[in-house]
Amino acid sequence: MPISNIINRTIMKKASILYIAASALLFTACESKLDVEPTDQLTDATVWKTPSNANLFLNDIYNALNPGPQSTVFTNVPSEISNDPLDNFSDNSISGPLAGIPSYEAFAQGSYGPSAPIFTPHWKNMYANIRKCNVFIENVTAADFDDATKKPMLAQARFLRAYYYKSLMDLYGGVPIITVPLNREEQGDAIFNPRNTFEECTAFIQKECEEAAADLPLKVAAKDAGRATKGAAWALEGEQLLYAGKWTEAAAVNLKIMNAGAGYDLYPDYGQLFLPANEDNQEVIFDVQYAANVKGEIKEKYWNPVKVSDGGGWGAVNPTQDLVDDYEFLDGKTEGEGSAMFDPAHPYDNRDKRFEATIIHDNSAWKSGIIYTRLGVPNNSNELDAAGAGGKGRTGYFLKKMVDPAIVPGVSSGANSIIWRYAEVLLNYAEAQNEASGADATVYDAMNKVRARAGLPALPAGLTQAQMRARIRRERRIEMAFEGKRLFDLWRWKIAEQVFSKPLRAMKITGTGTNLTYEKVNAGGGKITFVATKNYRMPIPQTVIAQNPKIEQNPNY
C-alpha cells in the first residue's frame, strides 16, 4: 500500500533544522505490474525499514502541530481563526472593526451551535493527526529498530498524540480515546467509538506524558529545537491536571519541571521574550517552530494599529479597559485598590512593566511614530470608535505583545508560537499548591519570581487561601495575556457567566494637548452572551454526530 506525496521539504528556523513535511499521507490501494520499489516515493515496504525513513513520517506529525483550535497558513499564533485570536473570545480583548469575525459575530452573539460551530475543522484535523500518531506508533513498535532508537521516537509520537487530545478536550471535554489506526473497510462500524469521560481522558494524558517523559531527553541540541523534551511532556501533563482540578498531582508535576535541572528560567525582558531574535531562549519549554516565507504568518498585518509609520494594520485585537484595569502600579496595587501611584491625568504611568510591553495606548511610541487613540486628532485612523465605524478601534487600545515592530505590516514573520514557558509553570504550580495546601512559602516564591521581572513588589504576607487565589488569577491574566489561555481559565474557574454579565469597557479620551479627559465607556460589541448551562463547552459539530451515532452532544445544545 504505497504512501504517495510524502515529502515536502520545509526548512524550519535554521538551515540545520529540517522538518521534512508530507503534503499529504494518502493511503490508497493499488496494484503494481512490476515488483520494483519506486525511488520517488515511500511505501509501506520502505517507510518503516529504517529510522531515517520513519523519522520523515514523525516530522510530518510535528508539521501538523497547531498552537490553538484552528490555525491557518496565515496566522500561526496561539488559538486563532485567521486574525481572530482566542483572547478575543474572552474579556481580554474585542476583535477589531472587521466583517465576518467569529468572536464578534458568533461568540459574542451566542449564535453558535452544532450546526453552526465556530471551530469547524478542529475535530476532523485533530483526529487526522491522532491517526498519524497511531500509525507511527504501531509501525515503529513492530519495526526492526534497536530499543535505543525506538524509544525516543515512540515517546515523541505519544507526546504529540496527547497534545492533540488535549487540544480537543479544551473545547469539548471528554472525547473518544483511539490508540490504534482505524480502517472502515476492515473494521466496519467497529470504528465508531463513544466519548470517554473528561476524567478518563485526563488519566490517559497523564499516563502518556509520564511514560513519554521517561524516554525523552532533558534537553535537545539547538538543531533539534522544537522537539519534545521531558519538560514539554510534564508541562502538557501539568496543565491538563490543573485544568482538571487535580491540585496535588498538578503541583507535583509542575514542581518536577522546576527541579528538573534543565536550565529553565525567566527571560529577563518580558517584552522581548516573544520576538524572533530571542526565540528558543531559557524560558521556552515547548514551541511550534516557524520560518518566514516558508511556514510563517502575517500577524503583524492583522494586529498592528490601523495606521502605523510603515503602513497599515487591521487593528484586529483591541485590548479592553477591563484588562488594563488589572495591571497593577509599581506599588503593587491597582487603581481600584487605591494605588497611590495612580494619576488620573496620566493613567498609564508607573505601571507593571508588562503593561507597556503588551498594550499600545494613547501617546504610545510605536515603530517610528506616535499612536493616538484620543478623539479630535485630524485624519487619525486609530482613534476610538466604539462601534468600529470606518475601520477604527473599538476600545482605545491595540496589541503590542508578540507584534514585531521591525516587520512591515503584510510581510511574513517567522516568530515561533510558544505553547509553554517557565513563567506559566511557576503560576501553574502556585495555583495548584495554593488550592491543595494554602498560601505556603513555595506559593509566595513562585509568584514573587514572576512579579519581580515585572518590577512589582512581593506579595503581602499573611494572605488567606482565597486572597492568594485572587492574586494568582490576576497574575495569570496579566502574565499570560494573548497567549490563548484566558478563555479556558474563565471556563475552568466557572466564572465566565459572572465576567460576561456586564459590558466590556473602552477608554474615551477627549481634549487637547496636556488637558485631556479620560472616560471609561462601554465598548461597542462588548456584551457577550453566555449561557452557563451550556456554554462552558463548545458544541460538537453536527457533522461529527451524523457520522458517528455513538457521540453524545454536550449538554443543552
56: domain CATH number is 1.25.40.890
- 155 neighbors 228 (Cβ within 8 angstroms): yes
Q: Is residue 33 part of a domain?
A: no
Rounded CA-CA distance 13/417 in Å is 12
Sequential pLDDT tens for the chain (557 residues): 333 333 333 333 332 333 333 333 333 333 333 344 555 566 677 899 999 999 999 999 999 888 878 755 455 554 455 588 899 999 999 998 777 888 998 999 999 999 999 998 899 999 999 999 999 999 999 999 999 999 999 999 999 999 999 999 999 999 999 999 998 888 888 889 999 999 999 999 999 999 999 999 999 999 999 999 999 999 999 999 999 999 999 999 999 999 999 999 999 999 999 999 999 999 999 999 988 777 666 788 889 999 999 999 999 999 999 999 999 999 999 999 999 999 999 999 999 999 999 999 999 999 999 999 999 999 999 999 977 666 789 999 999 999 999 999 988 888 889 999 999 999 999 999 999 999 999 999 999 999 999 999 999 999 999 999 999 999 999 999 999 999 999 999 999 999 999 999 999 999 998 899 999 999 988 899 999 999 999 999 999 999 999 999 999 99
The pLDDT of residue 389 is: 66
Total number of domains constituting the chain: 3
Same domain, 517 and 391: yes
- 157 neighbors 141 (Cβ within 8 angstroms): no
Q: Is residue 512 part of a domain?
A: yes
The pLDDT of residue 188 is: 84
Q: Is residue 3 part of a domain?
A: no
Q: Is residue 403 part of a domain?
A: yes
The pLDDT of residue 31 is: 34
Rounded CA-CA distance 494/403 in Å is 31
Return left, alpha or beta for 82; rule: phi > 0 is left, psi -120 to 50 is alpha, else beta. Answer: left
Q: What is the 3-state secondary structure (H, E, C) of 347-402?
A: CCCCECHHHHHHEECCCEEECCEEECCCCCCCCCCCCECCCCHHHCECCCCEECCC
Q: Is residue 109 part of a domain?
A: yes
Same domain, 542 and 434: no
DSSP assignment letter at 308: B
Same domain, 372 and 401: yes
In angstroms, what CA-CA distances link 293 with 74, 136, 411? 11, 29, 9
Rounded CA-CA distance 132/25 in Å is 9
Q: Is residue 91 part of a domain?
A: no
Same domain, 114 and 186: yes
Same domain, 420 and 405: no
- Look at the block and give the residue holding cell 520560518: 291
The CATH number given to whatever domain includes residue 442 is 1.25.40.390
Which residues form the domain of 508? 298-411+494-526
The pLDDT of residue 536 is: 98
Q: Is residue 316 part of a domain?
A: yes
| C-beta neighbour count of 364 within 10 angstroms | 19
| C-beta neighbour count of 502 within 10 angstroms | 13
- Which of 467, 491, 515 is the last residue before a domain boundary? 491
The pLDDT of residue 120 is: 87
pTM: 0.91
- Look at the block and give the residue holding cell 492583522: 302
Same domain, 226 and 143: no
Same domain, 249 and 208: no
Q: Is residue 201 part of a domain?
A: yes
Amino acid letter for position 141: T
Cβ neighbors of 151 (< 8 A, separation 6 or more) are 215
Same domain, 307 and 402: yes
Same domain, 307 and 378: yes
Same domain, 537 and 521: no
Same domain, 352 and 428: no
Say how many residues make up the chain: 557
Same domain, 464 and 498: no
The pLDDT of residue 443 is: 98
- 92 neighbors 477 (Cβ within 8 angstroms): yes
Task: Name 21's bridge partners.
Answer: 8
Beta strands in 484-534 (DSSP E): 505-512, 515-522
